[in-house]
Amino acid sequence: MGATSTLSITAVTKYLLLLFLHFSQAQTFSFPFRQPETCGHNQYFDISSLSCARCGANQRQDAQGTSCVCLPGFQTISNNGGAGIICKKCPEDMKGVTKDGWNCISCPSGLTTEGKCHCPTGHILVERDVNGTLLSQATCQLCDKNENSFTVANALGNRCVRCEPTFINTSRSCVCSEPNILTGGLCFSSTGNFPPRVISATRYGELGMSLTSEWFTKYLQSAAAACWVYGNLTSCQALGNMCVMNMNSYDSATFDACRLFQFVSENTAGLRTVHSVSFWRQNLPWLFYGDQLGLAPQVLSTTPLPTNFSFKGPNQDTKLKFVAASYDVRGNFLKWQTLEGGVLQLCPDTETRLNAAYSFGTTYQQNCEISISKILTGFPTPVFYDLYLEYTSENQHQYIWAVPVLNLNLQYNKMFVNQDSNPGKWLLTRRIFLVDALSGRENDLGSQPRLIRIATQISLSIHLVPSTKSGNIFPPLMTIGYSDIDIKDPNSQSVKISFSIKYEMNQEEARIQTDIALGVLGGLAVLSSLLKTAGWKRRIGSPVIDLQTVMKFLVYYAGDLANVFLIITVGTGLYWLIFFKAQKSVSVLLPMPAQEERFVTYVGCAFALKALQFLHKLISQITIDIFFIDWERPKGKVLKAVEGEGGVRSATVPVSIWRTYFVANEWNEIQTVRKINPLFQVLTVLFFLEVVGFKNLALMDPSSSLSRDPLSYTAPYSRILRYAVSAALWLVIAIIQIVFFAVFYERFIEDKIRQFVDLCCMSNISVFLLSHRCFGYYIHGRSVHGHADTNMEEMNMNLKREAENLCSQRGLVPNTEGQTFQIAISSQMRQHYDRIHETLTRKNGPARLLSSSATTFEQSIKAYHTMNKFLGSFIDHVHKEMDYFIKDKLLLERILGIEFMEPMEKSIFYNGGVQVNPWRYEKKILKCLLVYLQFHHF
């Protein structure tokens, strides 16, 4: 029994497991996608199962498509929604159905297609008594049109209402009979000054096409007539809205919306103005700044706003308080509202970032792409805005200042005058809208629009008053551009939107100051280049001004001019960085991107010219002559086998070449010695920019904070500020490295240049370097001990004697320590040098390309020994006709980098020349790297 029970349990478990596996494998979680409009006439959309379901007997789909209703001639018995409806056929003597559908009734004048009772025009249908009792037969009651009542049936035909006042005023009845004029549901007398009947309902578009707007056809003439004849406020606003929907375009030859508005305005000249504004007539909206071109400069730059803005301090004011009076399309006033919260910003974002647009001094840029279907859903009818800037007067009263609008789509006599760069040709307007999906509808206002007009470009420009010290601005200017979208498939179509706020100031004074600095420093650069060219001519020993001299001057001038551009750009960048970020009351604003072009050009010129100078320096360095003078002498003779003769003979002990190789190798290594470490320099600059947050100082906002909230709006970068911050960090870190290297590292750790001079002295090697034909450098490395090729014990002894001053000093001149010199050699000495040097370069190519024959090699060895002997004898004053003398350079000679004394008969050795030379090259490399880094910020 127990076994049977166990088997049964096991079998059931296996069955359930198989059933579960089958269920998990067979079940799916997808079903057909249905939409309400895809359901048939006798089906409805079930909102629970999200599918189409069949209606019951004698039923059909309702208007919404989510339920069923009874067919005409059937009354509703019960209605639980969906298919839960019961219908019953009405009897033959009561074929009509009441308007609510629950009862059958006898109709006096026939039935509608819906099976309801029908009444003639001017009658209302009565189905119930005044106490709600259902009548057995409906009646049609005629509304009383007599003078005491003046009533007509309403649009639903269920009530009598008073006639429209224009009918009563014109015809003393509810009928607008001829010769009176009926338009837009209003009645006007034909005897008055009625607006012209030849009215264009055309809506112009930027797509090169026009259409007849159903909204304009129905309401344009009536709104103009009601505004003009009766001074109706909402009609005047509606007329103004239609002018705005047509882009405020004015054509004297066509009676369109704006021409009608102008017509009404001209014929109401006797009315008083509003708030003493000559362009604003009583009862009419303020749409234009005059009716002629050329008033824009007067409006925008004549009268500053009577308010101040400041970034810091107790009177800090950094909020632009824009407000707007909003109207619907029929001219009804909606409300006053601030622009915060993204009222004019179609692009979605957080409220904090949207409101950052109205922080004074913060350049704002917002771009996005929005689906047309989303715009159609969110803006079924346009809303119109009159913009103002709110401010507080000195007596603490609140005032508003009208904000002018530059509509880029406005046409004045078929010309896009507002797209001209000359403000004198602009026509400023007042009212704007964001989306117009109404005037683009043809034939039916309930249909999808053929065209939709969207404000795709909105920009607010705020101009600082010149020479202000207290943050005064001129009236802001809103520039708006619309795009017409041809509606084809709203779900797949999209449009790009941009919203920006920019700040401007007159940069003419800054440009003049920059030009003055450029002229003065450029003149000094010419003088500097002339001095360098003169020094170069003296150093090559050529008094003739030839083409080479001119080219050399141009190359020198390129380098000096690059330094001028570098000074100007760094100075300009630091000026804007310091004065913009540190100011309290606003007196300067950053240049616009278009105004930065000159600055970018200067940086580009500095980079190109410095690259040319760097190339010239590189060529100069690879053409330098360097010779290592070996003072070591043979220490005796040895017996040497003679090849081919089978015998031996005595020969001098050869001097080892390894000391010369070693010194030459060290010379190559010190070519990379710098007072700054390039890797450390770059990494440190990047650390301060990216980690510490100095890059935030380059943002186009007044904040000086190094850290920013990631959820807040981030302003775009200013190219000038990026350059200034990077250059300042680069220079400060470089100067710190140079001071550390010169003051601490060279003094207490190691001085590689001095170590090299010591190495030369220990190796008994001197360095003779000619950077020009008759100018160069000399390191005196002759050992005071007479020889350096010795063993360790003797070398240690020599060093000990030198430390105890038991031998002479290392200097070229006895009893001095001067070992480094700048040398200016005479032409005779150079000629002798060249004659020896010719044997090394006779075949005009480097040694590795010359013939490897024994004869050529022996000639090279011989030339080497000859040059070594000649230079050694020259240093030892052996050649009296090519002698030299030693002197100190004058301070002015050191400053100008030129030698006043020309070596005629004797060469000149100037004390202390080599130590300064590596740093001269390093300064040029530092400048090139700095310019290169800043150039690549752009």
Give the Cα separation of 350 and 711 in Å (integer).
Answer: 9
DSSP 239-286: HHHHHHHTTT-B-TTS--HHHHHHHHHHTTTTSPEETTEEEEETTS--
Beta bridge partners of 638: 651
- CA distances, 248 to each of 262, 414, 481, 674 (Å): 11, 12, 12, 68
Question: What was the pLDDT predicted at 825?
Answer: 93
For residue 177, the SS3 value is coil
Question: What was the pLDDT predicted at 547?
Answer: 92
Long-range contacts, stretch 442-445, CB < 8 angstroms, 24+ apart = 442/211, 442/212, 442/213, 442/214, 443/214, 444/214, 445/214, 445/215, 445/218
Q: To 10 degrees, what angle do helices 597-622 and 547-582 make?
A: 140
Side-chain-facing half-sphere of 211: CA atoms under 13 Å: 20
Give the Cα separation of 624 and 627 in Å (integer).
Answer: 10
Give the Cα separation of 782 and 655 in Å (integer).
Answer: 15
Type of residue found at 689: L
Q: Does the structure show a pLDDT above 70 at 778?
A: yes
Question: What was the pLDDT predicted at 849?
Answer: 45
Q: pLDDT by residue (tens digit) across 246-296? A: 999 888 777 788 888 888 888 776 677 888 888 888 888 999 998 888 889
Give me the residue label for tokens 């072009």.
Answer: 597
Mean local confidence (pLDDT), 870-885: 91
Give the Cα separation of 96 and 250 in Å (integer).
Answer: 56
- CA distances, 71 to each of 74, 95, 113, 160, 380 (Å): 6, 12, 10, 30, 33
Question: What was the pLDDT predicted at 170?
Answer: 72
Beta bridge partners of 776: 770, 823
Question: What was the pLDDT predicted at 9?
Answer: 60
Share of the chain above pLDDT 70, in %: 88
Q: DSSP character for 740?
A: I
- The token pair at 681 is 């320099």
Max Cα distance, the chain (Å): 158
Q: pLDDT by residue (tens digit) across 441-493? A: 888 888 888 889 999 999 999 999 998 888 899 999 999 999 999 888 899 99
- CA distances, 420 to each of 407, 410, 471, 591, 594 (Å): 12, 11, 29, 22, 17
Long-range contacts, stretch 314-318, CB < 8 angstroms, 24+ apart = 315/585, 317/360, 317/471, 318/359, 318/360, 318/361, 318/702
- The token pair at 651 is 């020969």
- The token pair at 130 is 């005044």
Give the Cα separation of 55 and 85 in Å (integer).
Answer: 9
Q: Which of 26-40, 457-471, 642-656 has the lowest mean pLDDT?
A: 642-656
Q: pLDDT by residue (tens digit) across 388-445? A: 999 888 788 889 999 999 999 998 888 889 999 899 999 999 999 999 999 888 888 8
CB 555 within 8 A of CB 549: no
Question: What was the pLDDT predicted at 270?
Answer: 62
Query: Is the peptide bond prior to 179 cis by the omega test (within 30 degrees of 0)?
Result: yes
Task: Label residue 530 by pLDDT band (50, 70, 90).
Answer: very high
Type of residue found at 927: K
CB 589 within 8 A of CB 505: yes
Neighbour tally for 744: CB within 10 Å:
10
Give the Cα separation of 926 and 923 in Å (integer).
Answer: 5
For residue 411, the SS3 value is coil
